[in-house]
Amino acid sequence: MLSFKRNYAHTLRHALVILFGLAMLYPVLWLLASSFKPNQIILTDTGLWPSTFTWDNYRNGWKGFQGVSFARFFGNSTLVSILCVLGNAATCSFAAYAFARLEFRLKKLWFALMLMTIMLPYHVTLVPQYIIFSELHWIDTYLPLFVPKWLAHDSFFILLMVQFIRGIPKELDESATIDGCGHWKLYTRVITPLLAPALITTAIFTFIWTWDDFFSQMIYLSNIKLFTVQLGIRALFDPTGLSDWGALMAISVLSLLPITLVFFFFQRYFLDGIATTGLK
Amino acid sequence: MKRRGLSIVLASTLLALAGCGSSGGPGGDNASPSASPSAAPSGSASASASGEQEQVELRISWWGDQARADLTNKAIELFEQKNPNIKLTGEFAPFDGYFDKLNTQLASDTAPDIFFLGGNVIDYANKDVLLDLGPYVGNELKLDDMDPTMIEYGTVNGKLIHVSVGANARGIIVNKTMFDKAGIPVPQDGWTWDDYARISKEISDKLGDGYYGTYNFTTDGMDIYLKQNGKQLYDMANNKLGFEEADILPWFQYWDNTAKAGGVVPIELQVSNPPDDTGKSLLLTGKVAMTLLPSNNLVTFQGLTQDEFTMVQLPRGPKGTGVVFESSQGISGFAKTKHPNEVAKFIDFIINDPDAAKALGNNRGVPVTSANRAALVAEASPADKIVYDYTSRVSEQTKKEPFAISYNPPGNAEFIKLSDNTVQEIGFGKASVEKAVQGFYEGTVKIFESNQ
Amino acid sequence: MRTSRRSPAHLQNGAAYLFLLPWLIGFFCLTLGPMIGSLYLSLTKYNLLNAPEWIGFANYAELFTNDDKFTQSLSVTFKYVFMSVPLRLIFALLVAMALNKGIRALGVYRTVYYVPSLLGGSVAISIVWRQLFGGDGAINRFLGWFGVKGPYWISHPDYIMYPIVTLAVWQFGSSMVIFLAGLKQVPSDLYEASQVDGAGKLRQFFRITLPLLTPVIFFNLIMTVINSFQAFTPAYVIGDGSGGPLDASLFYTLYLYLEGFAYFNMGYASALAWIILAIIALLTGIIFATSRYWVFYGDGKEGR
């Protein structure tokens, strides 16, 4: 009797969680379904299953606009993302190594400043940064997008890796030092391999944030040929009004694909990464 | 494959960087392998005269929808065929975002070499960002066949900085099919604003829920209304505002009353489906029967629906219709372009080459040279004929009732936003008409002063 | 250990500063320098074309006395923060608790609920939102089944905040994952002990779960508040990009962007930036200051 009741409650909760999950996914499913509907019925056919199925939207959308195809936008986004990922992984781990393992003058001061920059809203540096990049004639190039990453600008990841390196037993360093390793060797041979999970977390977050970034790309890029996927979508959305919703939906689906794939491949690092950084 | 693509883009980025460092010129788009180092800015005039095969890449931007983009791209293609050494990359955006983007590009020296401007030329002329086309007139750029008033329009402070590419006259676009359905006769030239309000309401009443007589065009029709009453938006000769708060209050009141009577599109629909957005306009879906539009838009609109459109002159005020046949938009060059000769060449192509006229049609207005007008009249569509008929009626009218061509006031973009906001304030019931208009006038003065 | 700290011989200055070099350059050129720069610019009139013109505190005076858009953008942003942050955290906590009860296939659910956080920041999803909440979009059709005629969510100034808040709440997954990890660390013997004492579910929640979770809530709260103040893409794409209708989507960041990059009032935009910095600092300061009254560190940190 009691177990029946408990079972019942259990099933109910399960059903609720599933139902709620479906509701959560509805916008994504709607987007996916719309991308396969013929253009004329997208706004009238409300069902999640397309009554008529077509690939045209993908074909049309991929063509892009003004003679620039989305292949180029995806290429551009990939390039920018990769440059950012490499920059963040390298320079943030350098800084983290220094903070976690080395003793030096003013260390406490720098560390405190680093912590403060994590919480600093970007507004306050936005205008001068723009002016600096503009003076350097970097506007309309990718430099303003990735150079900051090569200067360890995302301090969040420094903190993440400092925490991680602190968890690596110091004995390893010491035995390596006895073997005559310098700091560079210590960093590359001992720390980096052990740091892999944190590096991966850094890499995938940087990738996703860069891929999704809209604001700085919009500010710094104006030549269509340099457009990223986000700018391409926004541009497609703008001038055509309703004329090609299907293409817009199809490209939107494609734009979400890379981050979704990265997520599924690295799910473990992802969720653990969030959980551990959150707690420490 | 992937790696190759990557290294090419990387190389071009580096090239762009190097190029910027040495010449200080705009943009990274000229970084294609063909961009030779000989294209130094100082020697460009002589270089293009002597070296015929020098490859030049230009960027051009305009506002509008996909249909306009298709026409413009066609014209660009023709130009490229006739000038194999010039390559043009087009960019376009909707009217709203276009000028924000252009401003950003101008300020950061990354503006396109060629861009379209409308009634806000003055704003840009004052910023010294427009190319002085004077030196090219008679060489690359021939204006002999162009209407002198149009040349004058593009000449600010003695410099030719803008070449109009089309002329139009604003008028009331009327969905005849809806009038037939409602059993109401299509209005005729010479009607009044009272007629307009009455007919709008009749349409709404006869056709029922979800159908409306007119869009609210308080903002777009403001300068016309002022001219009909002997005032103007901007007194350019004396560089001051041409109206007082009391002059404009009745205009807002008129729209408020007409809306309350029930002839006007509800404000939230107006926001979500603006009249000139061809993707969403309720004029095209047969839900709204009339609004104020530039005559060149009629052809585009007619092409997108089965309903039949026509054009009627604006309702009259004390001084007449207040409408003139004027420049709808034109082309300017970027002051810092590296290839001013090619820019002039392109402008020349657009206004003088009949092939360009045939590609572009009347999309941006009636061509400004008689040769190109003739080229179009020869193959006019029924919709084109309605436009020609309308613009000739306006021209006749202005002979009897002349009105000055209007320039937009400085700070036009901000002013338009302010005006739209005021309409919404009233429409959403956030403020009384009097209070909203008071705020509107204060804001107008403030914008005007801060843009001096 | 003690000797190493005192004697300079053990300092590894050279190597350390070499490792730190990129960050240091970044800190000075991209953070500290620009901060000083924007403080200076906020006291000038600057349009990027002409040299900055010193005008003292005129920008700030204008902001506080004569700028309706500033007050409007602040009120819009605060409305957004105060609506979206609590809702998002409550959702995250509730779902995390539902999932924590040893449900089968936890991984799948965790993924399903996390996906929105992953995608929510993109332009694509903002466009989807615009569609779903359109006049005849899915949301209004759904309401129509119950005989409710939904408003024009996107184009009416009284309603546009709701789609934007919904989008933020929809992305509760990242906070939920953190809560889940927190819940796992609550020792189960505490629950068993309280069950023996005959405590009800609700009482357990308020006596055990909630207090032990406060550090996690604290962290989530700080991060969500800071992030919420910086929201831009949803306001830009769901609204009309210029704050409309009637400035109801004029988020602070959007206003700053328009002033700085559409109208090129760089000095004014810098003043706006410093004000939002002060506000965020103040708010996080308050959360930090009050934290010792409500954040409970189970490891006895306070007593240390």
Distance of alpha carbon B440 from alpha carbon B437, whole angstroms: 5
B70: pLDDT strictly greater than 90: no
B33 within domain boundaries: no
Check residue B254 and give its pLDDT. 97
Are B426 and B363 contained in the same domain?
no
- Coil, strand or helix at C249: coil
Residues B323/B171, Cβ–Cβ less than 8 Å: yes
Q: How many residues are there in chain B?
A: 452
Token pair listed for C162: 């709701």
Are B187 and B139 contained in the same domain?
no
| For chain C, domain boundaries | 2-41, 68-303
Report residue B20's pLDDT band, with 50, 70 and 90 as the boundaries: very low
Residue B111 structural domain: 58-166+327-377
Tell me the shortest Cα–Cα distance from B188 to chain C, in angstroms.
34
Are residues B269 and C135, on separate chains, in Cβ contact within 8 Å?
yes
- Coil, strand or helix at B138: coil
Q: Considering only residues 254 to 293 of chain C, which have any Cβ-Cβ distance to chain A shorter than 8 Å?
A: 256-257, 260-261, 266, 269-270, 272-274, 276-277, 280, 284
Query: Mean pLDDT throughout A74-91?
Result: 96
Residues A59/A247, Cβ–Cβ less than 8 Å: no
Report residue A91's pLDDT band, with 50, 70 and 90 as the boundaries: very high
- Coil, strand or helix at C44: strand
- Residues in B whose CB is inside 8 Å of some CB of A read 5-6, 9-10, 13, 16-17, 20-21, 24, 26-29, 59, 64-66, 69, 73, 89-94, 97, 101, 104-105, 107-110, 277-280
Residue B423 or residue B278, greater confidence: B423
Tell me the shortest Cα–Cα distance from B150 to chain A, in angstroms.
29
C277: pLDDT strictly greater than 90: yes
Are B114 and B160 contained in the same domain?
yes
Tell me the shortest Cα–Cα distance from C117 to chain B, in angstroms.
28
The domain total for chain B is 2
Least confident of B44-53, B263-272, C134-143: B44-53
Report residue B86's pLDDT band, with 50, 70 and 90 as the boundaries: very high
B449: pLDDT strictly greater than 60: yes
State the average pLDDT for chain C: 86
Are B146 and B177 contained in the same domain?
no
Distance of alpha carbon C149 from alpha carbon C275, whole angstroms: 41
Token pair listed for A205: 């977050």
Is the C-alpha dihedral spanning B294, B299, B304, B306 positive or negative? positive
Query: Mean pLDDT throughout A12-33?
Result: 87
Tell me the shortest Cα–Cα distance from A2 to chain C, in angstroms.
17
Q: How many CB pairs under 8 A join A and B?
A: 97
For residue A248, what is the nearest residue in chain C, using CA coordinates?
C124
Are B105 and B242 contained in the same domain?
no
| B401 contact partners, CB below 8 Å, separation of at least 6 | B319, B320, B321
Are B193 and B282 contained in the same domain?
yes
Per-residue pLDDT of A161-188, as tens digits, reads: 998 888 888 888 888 877 777 888 888 8
User: In degrees to the nearest 10, what's the CA dihedral of C281, C286, C288, C290?
Assistant: 180
Distance of alpha carbon A270 from alpha carbon A198, whole angstroms: 10
Are residues C158 and B100, on separate chains, in Cβ contact within 8 Å?
no
Distance of alpha carbon C21 from alpha carbon C34, whole angstroms: 18
Per-residue pLDDT of C36-92, as tens digits, reads: 999 999 999 988 777 899 999 999 999 999 888 999 999 999 999 999 999 999 999
Per-residue pLDDT of B317-371, as tens digits, reads: 999 998 988 888 999 999 999 999 999 999 999 999 999 999 998 888 888 888 8
Residue entry with tokens 């190109």: B372
Are B296 and B445 contained in the same domain?
yes
Closest residue to A239, CB basis, from B16, B69, B280: B69
Taking contacts as CB-CB distances below 8 angstroms, the residues of chain B near C241 are: 96-97
Pairing relation of β-strands B114-117 and B288-294?
unpaired
Are residues C151 and B268, on separate chains, in Cβ contact within 8 Å?
yes
Are residues C156 and B268, on separate chains, in Cβ contact within 8 Å?
yes
When the candidates are 3.10.440.10, 1.10.3720.10, 2.130.10.10, 1.10.760.10, the CATH number that belongs to C68-303 is 1.10.3720.10
| Phi, psi of B32, rounded to the nearest 5 degrees | -65, 155
C4: pLDDT strictly greater than 90: no
B407 within domain boundaries: yes
Check residue B28 and give its pLDDT. 35
Check residue A52 and give its pLDDT. 82
Chains that touch C (3 or more CB pairs under 8 A): A, B
Check residue B16 and give its pLDDT. 34
| Predicted ipTM of the assembly | 0.86
Token pair listed for B444: 């107008």
B6 within domain boundaries: no
Distance of alpha carbon A203 from alpha carbon A198, whole angstroms: 8
Query: Mean pLDDT throughout B42-71?
Result: 70
Are B162 and B81 contained in the same domain?
yes
Are residues C230 and A279, on separate chains, in Cβ contact within 8 Å?
no
Token pair listed for B419: 């005006």
B155 within domain boundaries: yes
B303 within domain boundaries: yes
A169 part of contact set with chain C, CB < 8 Å: no
C133 part of contact set with chain A, CB < 8 Å: no
Token pair listed for B61: 């931007």
B29 within domain boundaries: no
Q: Give the CA distances from residue B277 to residues A240, B66, B272, in Å, rounded to whole numbers and listed in that order.
A: 9, 11, 10
Strands (E), B301-379: 309-312, 326-333
Tell me the shortest Cα–Cα distance from C66 to chain A, in angstroms.
22
Q: What is the DSSP string of B235-300?
A: ETTTTEES--HHHHHHHHHHHHHHHHHT-B--HHHHHHS-TT-TTT-TTTTTSEEEEEEETTHHHH
Are B367 and B407 contained in the same domain?
no
Q: How many CB pairs under 8 A join A and C?
A: 257
Closest residue to A24, CB basis, from C31, C116, C138: C116
- Report the share of chain B in percent with pLDDT over 70: 88
Are B342 and B433 contained in the same domain?
no
B41: pLDDT strictly greater than 70: no
Are B311 and B336 contained in the same domain?
no
Are B424 and B351 contained in the same domain?
no
Amino acid identity, position C269: A
Q: For an interface test with C, give the residue of A26, A34, A116, A123 to mutate (most C CBs within 10 A).
A: A123
CATH of the domain at B221: 3.40.190.10
Are residues C245 and B108, on separate chains, in Cβ contact within 8 Å?
no
Q: How many separate helices (H) and strands (E) can be counted in chain C?
A: 16, 2
Is the C-alpha dihedral spanning B14, B17, B21, B26 positive or negative? positive
